[in-house]
Structure 1
Amino acid sequence: MSKFNIRGIVKRCDDYGKLLNRFCGPIFVGFATSLISLIAFTYFTIIFPATTSLSGLFSIFNFFCDLSISLFLTYGIYFNYIKAIITKPGYPHLNETSSSINVLYSLVYNNNDNDIINKESETIIIDNVTWSYCKKCSKSKPPRCHHCSVCDRCILKMDHHCPWIGGCVGFYNYRYFFLFLSYLWVSVCYVLTHSLPLLFGGGGYLYSKRFTEIDRLLVIISSIGSFITFVAVGSFGGFHAYLIGSGQTSIENLYPPKKRPNYSLSSIKDNFEIVLGKGEYWFSGLLPLNYVPSGNGCDFKLNPSQNHFKNENENRNKNEIKGSDDDENSNCKNGDKDSISENDNLISYDTDNINSK
């Protein structure tokens, strides 16, 4: 089997994988919603009443505190999960009539919409922000913006494509996604603290005549599901807590340390406030409330120790613009020495004359 056939097979498998991921999103969302709802139903109808009976309802105050915490956590899960799904992650938009865009297209296009020059290195500064060029959707994109192969479009401050929400996690819905993980993890911990005494203690209370076989089965399934969620979401959520605290995204964390731009602010607290928001109280950013992150998703402050990234981008941009102007002047002066092929529409430049400039 030739190398080209292998590449074709790999590409086709990759395309099928993206297609499967795109159409299976609702299935993942439905499964997650069903599992969460099953655990919540079992907790409020079986586990919570049973643990209340075991404790002897020694305090009305404790009962209402326990119930209030349970209801609050449940609301936090559903609110943040729904918001993470329905909130768009954010997409780069530019004013097509602005002078900056005209300059960009004069650099990218050479009098032919299908002839794109130097896609890999094409950059331009727009509102003091260095934008690059996306080869897949043929549009410019700001820093920290990446093209999602599943959604088939660029995402502002893209973190990853999550099948559990049926879309991408980006600038506008990252807070809801992280809070969903946080509330879910705390909730399954809360469920386990109530269900484990029923399973392994209480003098076999769960196996008394008060409970049916279906009740016992639901408690066992909910406990197993809660434990698996505790481990999986705990690991994943802990990783995202580290990313937020260090000012990174999942994609940026894959970069080699020396090539990774540092967007971390002066403190971990500031990094969390950028994502979760800053309110009157320290816990305001953790509340399940509507929130629009500050900024436009295009301009991010670099750590002062990383300003060389910005300076390098600005210098490279200036050199590209200057080089483009020099090439244009050189082509005009040496137009009679250029050979133009009418069949292939290719322009071969007199490199000796250009280099002499």
Structure 2
Amino acid sequence: MDRSGGAVMAWNVFRFCTALRGLGSIMILLVLCIVGLTYYAVVIANYGPTLFNGGLDSFTAFTVLVLFHALLAMLLWSYFSVVLTDPGGVPPNWKPDIDDERGDADPLLESAYIGSVVASNQLNVLGDAANQGVRYCRKCNRFKPPRCHHCSVCGRCILKMDHHCVWVVNCVGALNYKYFLLFLFYAFLETTLVTLSLLSYFIMFFTDGEIPGTPATLATSFVTFVLNLAFALSIMGFLIMHILLVVANTTTIEAYEKKTTPKWHFDIGRKKNFEQVFGINRRYWFIPAYSEEDLRQMPALQGFEYPTKPDTEALQQL
């Protein structure tokens, strides 16, 4: 076997992003600048003044402005929830439960077993969920819960890590994955609304007739239309991809790694897979928050324990 090839495969692609640690608030400022430009083009330059024209123009402007502000509020709420919410880390003293069929494990035997696991590097990345070994991170020198991965950008292990997102300057993991999906959802709706509302102004740019407004206003509307159209198309593809991941109860990292796994035991049905991300309480599905009942009754939302297919099938037979 070619050792150099194996080394290339084992190299962590996220090291490419290590330099992005210094961006920090710059990316957040960039997002806010795009939002500000869009707000100026839609509200101040175009539909705000039209609101007082009367008739159908006023009704259209009122509808656009109400939808725009409602979606913008949800977008910003979801966005800053992703930015400010810790995706989930492994506690310093966390260790896996050693299940002994003969009863409670002796502490000395348990320590010896854990030490042998670390020494022999018996590290399962995905493994068979029904026979999953102890997972250990060489970089953090800690044990890893199921579905946990190390992020080279954050420099720590993240619970149910999906990816490190440059736009939110944070990892997307167990505790903020729902917020990230809602951010994509509301960003897609908002950019689509802006694209449709500025379409007529974009067309005016190519007409020979007299164009209302100043050249600066028209240029701003043109740039805003192009930006939002590009974002709407890109976010749509990204959103579809993550919907498929949620339905299959997998993450971006796991979707790549499980290609070598014959059976994915975490897929417990579309409905239950969805609930593991969004919770059971439907009133909280479209807001970046969880009900206390969901947090109390669903361990999967905490990022340490996940039901598997054999477990659910056994419960159904009882």
> TM-score, length-normalised on structure 2?
0.76
Structure 1 equivalent of residue 74 of structure 2: 76
Structure 1 equivalent of residue 183 of structure 2: 180
Structure 2 equivalent of residue 248 of structure 1: 250
Kindly provide the amino acid, as one letter, of the partner of residue 195 in structure 2.
L
Alignment RMSD (CA, Å): 3.8
CA distance in 2, matches of 1:14, 1:250: 13
CA distance in 2, matches of 1:99, 1:233: 40
Contact 1:178 1:237 in 2 (8 A): yes
Deviates more, 1:288-297 or 1:253-262: 288-297
Structure 2 equivalent of residue 90 of structure 1: 88
CA distance in 2, matches of 1:206, 1:176: 46
CA distance in 1, matches of 2:184, 2:14: 29
Structure 2 equivalent of residue 26 of structure 1: 25
Structure 2 equivalent of residue 314 of structure 1: none
CA distance in 1, matches of 2:312, 2:265: 6
Please report how far the alpha carbon of residue 262 of structure 1 lies from its aligned counterpart in structure 2 after TM superposition: 3.4
Please report how far the alpha carbon of residue 298 of structure 1 lies from its aligned counterpart in structure 2 after TM superposition: 1.1
Structure 1 equivalent of residue 285 of structure 2: 285
Kindly provide the amino acid, as one letter, of the partner of residue 241 in structure 1.
I
Please report how far the alpha carbon of residue 19 of structure 1 lies from its aligned counterpart in structure 2 after TM superposition: 3.0
Q: Which SS does the other structure have where 2:285 is aligned?
A: helix
Please report how far the alpha carbon of residue 263 of structure 1 lies from its aligned counterpart in structure 2 after TM superposition: 1.8
Contact 2:181 2:239 in 1 (8 A): yes
Please report how far the alpha carbon of residue 42 of structure 1 lies from its aligned counterpart in structure 2 after TM superposition: 1.8
Kindly provide the amino acid, as one letter, of the partner of residue 278 in structure 1.
I
User: Which of 295, 305, 308 is the aligned partner of 1:299?
Assistant: 305
Q: Which SS does the other structure have where 1:272 is aligned?
A: helix
Offset from partner CA, 1:55-93 (integer Å, 9 cap, x none): x53286665443322111000111010010000000122
Please report how far the alpha carbon of residue 94 of structure 1 lies from its aligned counterpart in structure 2 after TM superposition: 6.1
CA distance in 1, matches of 2:291, 2:24: 25
Structure 1 equivalent of residue 101 of structure 2: none
User: Which of 214, 217, 223 is the aligned partner of 1:215?
Assistant: 217
User: Which structure is richer in relative contact order (CA contacts within 8 A, separation 6 or more)?
Assistant: 2
Kindly provide the amino acid, as one letter, of the partner of residue 287 in structure 2.
L
Offset from partner CA, 1:109-154 (integer Å, 9 cap, x none): 37xxxx951123389xxxx986411111110111100111111111
Kindly provide the amino acid, as one letter, of the partner of residue 146 in structure 1.
H
Please report how far the alpha carbon of residue 16 of structure 1 lies from its aligned counterpart in structure 2 after TM superposition: 7.0
Distance 1:96 1:193, change over 3 A: closer
Note the residue ranges of structure 2 that are not aligned, 5 or more in a row. 99-106, 126-130, 314-318
Structure 1 equivalent of residue 168 of structure 2: 165
Contact 2:82 2:176 in 1 (8 A): yes
Q: Which SS does the other structure have where 1:286 is aligned?
A: coil
Distance 1:138 1:51, change over 3 A: same
